Amino acid sequence: MKMRKIVINKQLVPMKGHYFLWNAGTGPVVPYLSTYARQLGFSSVVVGLIYTILPICGMVAKPVFGAIADRYHCQKKIFLAAQLFTAVAFIAVFYSPALPIERVVHFSCADSEAVFNTYPGSQADECTIADIQAKGSTERCRLDCEANSTIWATVCEQWNAPQYCSASNQTTRLRFTAEVASSLTELFNGTVVFRVENVSLPDSDWVRPLCPNRAISTSCSVDCDSYDLNDIIGRPGVDDGEVYGLYQFWVFLMLMILGWLGQAVVVSVGDAICFEMLGDKPNRYGYQRLYGSLGWGIFSFLAGIMIDALSDGRAQKNYISAFYMAAAFLVLDFGVSSRLQYTQKKLVTNIVRDVGRLLVDVRIVVYLIWCITVGLCTGLIWQFLFWLIEDLAKAQGCDSVSVVKTLQGVVQAIQCLGGELPFFFLSGWILKKLGHVHTMSLVLFVLGVRLILHSIIVNPWWILPVEFLNGLTFGLFFACMASYASIVAPPGTEATMQGMVGAVFEGIGVSVGSFVAGLSYQVYKGLTFRYFGFGSLAMCVLHIFVQYLLKFKGNSSENVKAIYSAPQDTLEKVQEEDQQELTLVD
């Protein structure tokens, strides 16, 4: 028997390394940025506005920097600079100043016992309170209250603090530490009631805070050692309308925009470089990109575990490990990407003219509309799938709510490792067998089915098998979108085309989809997925019909017509071409 050995295309190894390290660097941060913004004090309305602005900025940056890279033949320089730029932006976002958080409670007496409660409108629900009660622990909170003569009289007589009987020691503020029994915490008419077991005044021992026959009612600021209690009590110190006038908002927004711009440039220019290196074999793009799904799936999941582990016993989640791990991987990506054996050879004399000619081609217009349609549905999935999971978990009961974050982490792992990775690997073969036209129709059909399934699922755990379809609706879609843009791009405009297509998908499709989905979800909840699913199926039928008409009408662009034609290559031919990537030879 003849021995066979593995031969690797060493020229493409740094490209694979880039995709792995880039996604290993963005995966630990990007999925958690919205929750980090919440921890900084921004409401869902403000965060939603930020995530409407970011894709628009990316829409502008991708074609602009792509055109600069093409015009001045500096793709690799811009590509490398954007990687370091993103790493710096991530670290800067971590040190963004937080909004002033207000933790104010009402302290009073109830049945001769001291209690304090949140004001109406608390975000706590029965499951949250049940979790706190189940801990059975005693938590300490520091209170700073408005004080009057009645309160000081109670402190003097009932709290065993004679030093405060003298008016000279009485001030307008009463400061003490309270011990709260978590098992006695209750939810009543939208407010959370905490029963105080013991208190400790400055330089005093612990005593039971009795208050018989005394009417104590005052407002206090509070800070607890428990993250759960602080989370229940805390609320933004400013209204949403006032946030936009604060420097904290603008600093965070600007840093987020800078990070988003860096990512947009790396993705679009990086794909252009990849297709240039692949030459006339764009079907092998998926073999490179699958390493990105591997990096994202592994390290976004590990980042969540590290965040929880380092946050144990703290009042707030500790994201430092995620941000610094991301920056480290991005710096490593810079080192690996700098070893790319790549020289930009194709020249272009007039980028606007050459790309503009494509935009008047009806097949290109259909292709861009397809990108926007998929982007609309992707915006719904990216922004509101986790909302749907949480709503379904709440309907199932507290047991489901207690593991909802674990479920969300598993969903993300399945999307990347179980869905995107295998379909990026198979994308070249699928595109060869089906052609780009049929693949586009397939993506729209599966996307519609996926969204409709989400809308009829009752148990959130049944979402897991559905998420394997992400391989078709994103993995195969992205490979089809990027490879088609590379093929139809006039020589020398590759980065421009990748930027333009990415801008159309994300800046128009995802941005508008997120906005529309937000309005719809507020009214229709999970039915929003069904309506978007029906829309995707309708666009699938329309796409097939339009392509049927174009098939007979023909098109002036021979290049476009060729790529839309059904490929004649056999599976054996595809495998023969792929031997340049990774093969067994005699």
Q: Is the pLDDT of residue 580 over 60?
A: no
The alpha-carbon radius of gyration of the chain (Å, integer) is 29
pLDDT per position as a tens digit, 382-393: 878 877 887 888
Residue type, 110: A
- Name the band, by pLDDT with cuts 50, 70 and 90, for residue 566: very low
- State both tokens at 230: 């602080």
- Tell me what pLDDT residue 401 has: 67
Q: Which element (helix H / strand E) includes 175?
A: strand 173-181
List pLDDT tens digits, range 206-230. Answer: 998 887 656 678 999 998 888 778 8
**How many Å apart are CA 20 and CA 355, to the nearest integer?**
31
Say if residues 54 and 379 touch (Cβ distance below 8 Å). no
Mean predicted lDDT score pLDDT of the chain: 80
pLDDT of residue 87: 93
Task: Give the C-alpha separation, 540 to 309, whole Å.
Answer: 45
pLDDT at 567: 35
Q: Over range 162-167, report the average pLDDT.
A: 84
For 313-332, the pLDDT digits (tens) are 454 678 888 899 999 999 99
Report which DSSP code applies to 210.
B
Q: What are phi and psi of 188, to 5 degrees?
A: -140, 115
% of the chain residues with pLDDT over 70: 82
In this prediction, residue 413 carries a pLDDT of 83
Q: Residue 435 is which amino acid? A: G
pLDDT over 60 at 89, yes or no: yes
pLDDT band at 293 (very low <50, low <70, confident <90, very high): confident
Task: Read off the pLDDT band of 256 (50, 70, 90).
Answer: very high
By the 8 A CB rule, do 285 and 483 touch?
yes
The pTM (predicted TM-score) of the whole model is 0.69
Residues of the chain above pLDDT 90, percent: 25
Helices 285-310 & 13-26 angle (0-180, nearest 10): 30
Higher per-residue pLDDT: 152 or 351: 152
pLDDT, average across residues 243-248: 88
Q: What confidence tier does 576 reach under pLDDT thresholds 50, 70, 90?
A: very low
Structure tokens at 60: 């502008």
Q: Where are the domains of the chain?
A: 9-99+242-579, 101-236
Q: Is the pLDDT of residue 569 over 60?
A: no
CA distances to 201, 445, 547 from 534, rounded to whole Å, are 63, 10, 20
Pseudo-torsion of CA 266, 268, 270, 274, nearest 10°?
170
pLDDT band at 570 (very low <50, low <70, confident <90, very high): very low
Dump pLDDT digits (tens) for 115-147.
Answer: 998 877 566 677 778 878 888 889 999 999 999
Cα–Cα distance, 476 to 430 (Å, whole number): 8
- Give the confidence band of 237 by pLDDT, cuts at 50, 70, 90: low
Residue-wise pLDDT tens digits, 21-52: 999 999 888 877 877 887 787 776 677 778 78
Q: Which pLDDT tens digit goes with each residue over 481-513?
A: 888 887 777 776 666 677 678 778 887 888 888
pLDDT of 4 above 60: no
pLDDT at site 307: 75
Contact 266, 83 (CB under 8 A): yes
Query: What single letter denotes the amino acid at residue 228?
Result: D
Domain 9-99+242-579: give its CATH superfamily: MFS general substrate transporter like domains (1.20.1250.20)
HEC letters along 321-334: HHHHHHHHHHHHHH
The pLDDT value given to residue 440: 92
Query: What pLDDT is recorded for position 81?
Result: 92
pLDDT at 495: 63
Q: Rounded to an integer, what distance in angstroms lies between the CA atom of residue 267 and that of residue 450?
A: 26
pLDDT of 267 reads 84
Check residue 123 and give its pLDDT.
Answer: 62
Contacts of 455 (CB under 8 A, 6+ apart): 526, 527, 528, 529, 530, 533
Given this model, what pLDDT does residue 253 score?
93
The pLDDT value recorded for residue 121 is 57
pLDDT for 315 equals 45
- Residues 278-303 as b/e (b if ≥16 CB within 10 A, e otherwise) read beebbbbbbbbbbbbbbbbbbbbbbb
Residue 443: pLDDT over 50 = yes
